Structure 1
Amino acid sequence: MAKGDDALTRKRNKASRKKLRSKSGDSSAVSARVASIIAAKKRRMSGKRRQCQGMCFSLPTPDDPYNDRNGKKDTKVKPSKSSKREFPKEKSTSAPNGTLRDVCFENARSSKEGSGGTLPSGRVAKRSKTDPERTKEYGNAKGSVQGFQEEDSESSVAPSKFLILCLSAIENALYHDSIKSINKPLFADTWGIEFWKCYSSGKDILDTSGLSSTDEKIAWVVSSAADSIARKEKEGSSFSSPFLLFLVPNQEKATQIRSMCKPLKALGVHTVSIHPGASLGHQIQGLKSCEPEFLVSTPERLLELVAMQAIDISGVSLLVVDGLESLSRGGYLDMTQSIRKSISSKLHTIVFSDSFSCAYVPFIQSLLGGPIRRLSLNTSVACQSACIIQSINFYTSEKEKLSKVIQALDRANGSQIRPQPLKMLFILGKECNVHDLAAALKFKGHDIVAGALCGVPEIKNNLKVDGKLRPVVAKTDIEQINTIDLGTYESIFILSAFPPIDKYVEILTGMARHTNNGVLHSFISKEEASVAGSLVEILEQCGQDVPKTVRNLSLTQATSHS
């Protein structure tokens, strides 16, 4: 039976394809490059590259080493270990056996299931010691949380998820409160971010903004304290005393802080407020019924309870003192010092200073020991240099100037007993007679080294004079002060001609960054009367006494210009 035209056509095409295949299979027929192009075309035409529609090919990955998925993501999600983790059973928030994190997980989970959830739930699960978030850098350098290793870094570890959870709880409470409100999210608060950097360094903090604590400041302080409790409990620590002691001058301030801490109760943080507005017996009964993590109190009522052994504050880890001027008006400064002495544990202290008066400097120095972190978003000279004493000396000759330098050194060495000698810096100018100064210091037991004291074996080179150890003195030119960290020195002498007032302010504020126990000595003569007016203004702004000779020099200069 004769074949049709279609059958013949199919037969011819089949023969042609067979012939082409035999030619392409011959390695000598085409080059390697042409063969790779043919192979790529066959892959595209097979449908595997239909989504790409071009010459872009994906590379193998560790998840797909043979490129079987052609660069597509695996849509099958493997069940993670965290999804199988069971939440702990509900525990009483006041029970000492349940850690703060355990209570937080369960309370946050139930809150989300019951109310639609404005807070994160089980995602805030316990992290392992190797969790990368614990070592994530916040800024450019690593830091540490109070209770961990201390570093002098300007930056710190990133805030944990639990800290964010605490801030979110307080922010939600403020949002629903018609009386109180915030302008922006707490986590984006500029002061809070700077506070976290200081807090995580482990050093005492002095806030010199000139105001007492605000809602935003309180939120960051109590949230950071709650995060420290959670970290320590995860490591197996327990607390027999309140972790945070917040000293306030009056009942109104205690009520404000108590209301800010109230949202943290759902996360396992109990706060008790003690003030003269309630009966003593009622407060004693309340302290017996619970073990608060946070204690907000006026100094007078707290000392009464401590004397009656109704509460133990010896193990307090974080002390916050709010409003020095208000505490002073209430006569609470001595009581606050007594409370500080009653705490025997390693203490982290935060002071909110609402005054720049020199009368409070000894009190602040008794509360904050060692290097500190100064915190203030106010750029005024008074805020940036609070607690630094400015000693202005008037002289008429170089001999008198050198004599006053030696007298100031003697006062600094004999002012008080210190565990380590003072770190001193002499800022010199080209006109200074270095040889006479070095000879005078050598006679007093001081050695002079050029540059900063970092890495200098100070203790080995010190000499004893009158039974007291004399520190090594560093020297630098006034043009090179930008290369030295002035915050490491507690006593600085400006021995050059009195600098321009902006340079003087730069030295003053740079020295104040890490100390509250510093003295800046400067020397002025009649030839430098042009800066006397500005100098008097700075001293008055900082609440410090103006020497009579400097004020007269300023008046004389003003009269001559008029």
Structure 2
Amino acid sequence: MAKGDDAIRRKKNKVNRKKLQKETSNVSARVASIIAAKKSRLSGKRRTCQGMCFSLPTPEDPFNDRYGKMDNRRKETKKLVPSQADSRVSINRDSVQLTKGAPGCNHAKAERQEQKMVKVTNLENEQTISQTIKNVGQKTSVKQGKAKIHLIGKNGAIGAQQGQALENSDCPSKFLILCLNSIQNVLWHDGIFSGEEDKPLFADAWGVEFWKCYSVGKDILETSGACSTMEQIAWMVSTAADSIARKEKEGLSVTGPFLLYLVPSQETATKVQSVCKPLKALGIHAVSLHSGASLDHQIQGLKYCEPEFLVSTPERLLELVSLKAIDTSGVSLLVVDGLESLFKGGNLDIIKSIRQAISANPQTLVFNDCLNYMSVPVVQNLLQGSICRLSLNDSISSQSACIIQSVQVCALEDEKLLQGIQILDQVCGNELGSQLFKVLFVVGKESDFHKLVAATMSKGYFMKANSIWSTSGVKNSKTGPAVFVIDMEHINTYDLGKFEVVIICDFGPSIDYYIDILTRMARCTVNGKLHSFFTIEDAHMAGPLIEILEQCGQAVPEPLRKLCHSSQSMLEH
């Protein structure tokens, strides 16, 4: 009996199923899914999406039921970073715009990318950067406010008042991080970056300290004892670029150079220029001026550009300013790098002239690598008012920078107190009526304390004691300058950073007391003065004191050297 069509079809399907099972048993799940999809297509069962485009099945979706679509619940938002080849970040008062450099670009796509740039789309990454910077800057001694930056609307306008210092926040802005990353990528690619490859620039300890000092708005004295490094330059120029962006968002225009970077040589200017070069793609243009190029060529070049950053040697800049080729009156940030080389080259007077040509009151940063006390007047001319000290070096010379040490040798004990009162008259003579606690007397004997009180009260000084001796019963003046008195044993329990002048009458049992006072006093000024008095009883500490004075570049008085030699000869005999 002949078989019907249904029986033949069933038999054929049974053979195909056995064949399919045999083929898929020896292959992986991915290949089996591809074979299944091919069988489905050959049988005419094409899906709607496969009519226009074809998506390969995956092990998670072997029959392509999701049509190649991704799971939106597990999709991570990526942070948009423009490439330097075909994009440029330009700053205006409303938002950060991404403008395509090539003609005929898709403006709708660029607008969507612009909106993504100003939105906070990656909160976890921002919190990671903030926590990293907080961990790096835990050892800082600079205290600052923590006013947060609030984003208003989709453009993220910053509600800051014009004319004030840089806004403080928990961490640097995203644009500053973008500048640091751009510099790091370019310098690594060129092979001229000396930093660690796995350490990002935004986690640099010095950079975090600098940003905190800069945010306070005070002048900065860098006392590490060396010129700037690539990492330090990157943080300075990135912070300046971020300040320009903030000003333009507030509606202010930067017409002249914002940053003036004075360097001692052409080589240093080239190094700074190489760090600033990656910021050109972000709208920041830097110009390098030095004696390596002709003066006429630089004058013609400055006519056709308005740089935001100006890197120059002092002598060439003074020539251009005298010829009115460039206007530096509106500089907002002044950096003086390599003070020792400038001092040896005789450029200190030129720097003073350049500083006088700036009519504004720029925030100034000085890299003080010069230990000679002769350079202190120049630093005092550049840094006026309250300052922030910045240094990751704990050496005595670094911590005592710009503090003049004066040592006098006395024949008798009574002479120390009399000469100390004379110094007090010289310091406080022009400050009658001031109630600032700027002078500290360090005494070691109760008799000296009573003599000091009797001598100073008659001259109108206000006495204040923070020691084992009390000023109860003493009729203090209400108008005269304040003089703080403390004994040597309790010196470690008091904050010495606010005192500009310290007078040590009794040296103490060890040289460590002197070092402790020297490295803790005058933290917010460059006008610190430490006066101390020596007698024959302190001769055993003359040698260590001379070493400290020489290490700090201070003048060593000849009587102190003689006292040291006499004490050594006595020990030999």
Instruction: Calculate the TM-score normalised by the size of structure 2.
Output: 0.70
Partner of 1:237: 252
Q: What secondary structure sits across from 1:424 in the alignment? A: strand
Partner of 1:125: 118
Deviates more, 1:516-525 or 1:98-107: 98-107
Deviates more, 1:265-274 or 1:300-309: 300-309
Partner of 1:47: none
TM-superposed CA distance for 1:160, in Å, is 1.3
1:182 equivalent in alignment to 2:195? yes
Deviations 1:355-408 (A, max 9, x none): 110010000000001121112222211111011011112223333112211221
Q: What secondary structure sits across from 2:537 in the alignment? A: helix
Distance, in Å, in 1 between the alignment partners of 2:102 and 2:412 is: 76
Partner of 1:410: 425
Partner of 2:110: none
Partner of 1:29: none
1:162 equivalent in alignment to 2:164? no
Partner of 1:351: 366
Query: Can you give the 5+ residue segments of structure 2 that lack an aligned partner in the other structure?
Result: 1-70, 81-86, 107-112, 121-125, 148-161, 468-475
Partner of 2:314: 299
Q: 1:415 to 1:234 in 2, by over 3 A?
A: same
Q: What secondary structure sits across from 1:433 in the alignment? A: helix
Partner of 2:145: 143
Distance, in Å, in 2 between the alignment partners of 1:121 and 1:367 is: 42
Partner of 2:494: 484
Partner amino acid for 2:569? Answer: T
TM-superposed CA distance for 1:256, in Å, is 1.0
Q: 1:301 to 1:497 in 2, by over 3 A?
A: closer
Partner of 1:193: 208
Partner of 2:269: 254
TM-superposed CA distance for 1:559, in Å, is 2.4
TM-superposed CA distance for 1:91, in Å, is 8.2
Partner amino acid for 1:437? Answer: L
Q: 1:225 to 1:323 in 2, by over 3 A?
A: same
Distance, in Å, in 1 between the alignment partners of 2:101 and 2:145 is: 29
Matches within 5 A, 1:460-539: 463=479, 471-539=481-549
Partner amino acid for 2:313? Answer: T
TM-superposed CA distance for 1:103, in Å, is 6.1
Partner of 2:460: 445
1:320 equivalent in alignment to 2:322? no
TM-superposed CA distance for 1:461, in Å, is 5.8
Distance, in Å, in 2 between the alignment partners of 1:239 and 1:548 is: 55
Deviates more, 1:428-437 or 1:293-302: 428-437
TM-superposed CA distance for 1:417, in Å, is 12
TM-superposed CA distance for 1:415, in Å, is 8.4
Distance, in Å, in 2 between the alignment partners of 1:409 and 1:235 is: 49
Deviates more, 1:473-482 or 1:413-422: 413-422
Partner amino acid for 1:483? Answer: T
Partner of 1:20: none
Partner of 2:406: 391
TM-superposed CA distance for 1:430, in Å, is 3.8
Q: What secondary structure sits across from 2:268 in the alignment? A: helix
TM-superposed CA distance for 1:302, in Å, is 1.4
- Whether the aligned pair in 2 keeps the contact of 1:349 and 1:368 (CA below 8 Å) is yes
Q: 1:397 to 1:92 in 2, by over 3 A?
A: closer
Partner amino acid for 2:215? Answer: S
Distance, in Å, in 1 between the alignment partners of 2:361 and 2:529 is: 27
- Whether the aligned pair in 2 keeps the contact of 1:147 and 1:202 (CA below 8 Å) is no
Distance, in Å, in 1 between the alignment partners of 2:165 and 2:305 is: 32
TM-superposed CA distance for 1:314, in Å, is 1.0
Deviations 1:196-251 (A, max 9, x none): 22222211111112211111111111111111111222222222221100011121
Distance, in Å, in 2 between the alignment partners of 1:214 and 1:354 is: 13
Partner of 1:551: 561
Partner of 2:3: none
Q: What secondary structure sits across from 2:287 in the alignment? A: strand
TM-superposed CA distance for 1:414, in Å, is 5.5
1:271 equivalent in alignment to 2:286? yes
Distance, in Å, in 2 between the alignment partners of 1:504 and 1:109 is: 66
Distance, in Å, in 2 between the alignment partners of 1:418 and 1:255 is: 52
TM-superposed CA distance for 1:531, in Å, is 1.4
Q: 1:176 to 1:122 in 2, by over 3 A?
A: farther
Distance, in Å, in 2 between the alignment partners of 1:202 and 1:544 is: 31
Q: 1:359 to 1:75 in 2, by over 3 A?
A: same
Partner of 1:42: none
- Whether the aligned pair in 2 keeps the contact of 1:105 and 1:122 (CA below 8 Å) is no
Partner of 1:172: 185
TM-superposed CA distance for 1:479, in Å, is 3.1
Q: 1:108 to 1:487 in 2, by over 3 A?
A: farther
- Whether the aligned pair in 2 keeps the contact of 1:104 and 1:267 (CA below 8 Å) is no
- Whether the aligned pair in 2 keeps the contact of 1:108 and 1:122 (CA below 8 Å) is no
TM-superposed CA distance for 1:496, in Å, is 3.1
Aligned-residue sequence identity (percent) comes to: 54
- Whether the aligned pair in 2 keeps the contact of 1:208 and 1:374 (CA below 8 Å) is yes
TM-superposed CA distance for 1:100, in Å, is 8.5
Deviations 1:156-190 (A, max 9, x none): 73111111111111110111113443224322222
Partner of 1:27: none
Partner of 2:27: none
Partner of 1:367: 382
Query: Can you give the 5+ residue segments of structure 1 that lack an aligned partner in the other structure?
Result: 1-73, 84-89, 114-119, 453-459, 464-469
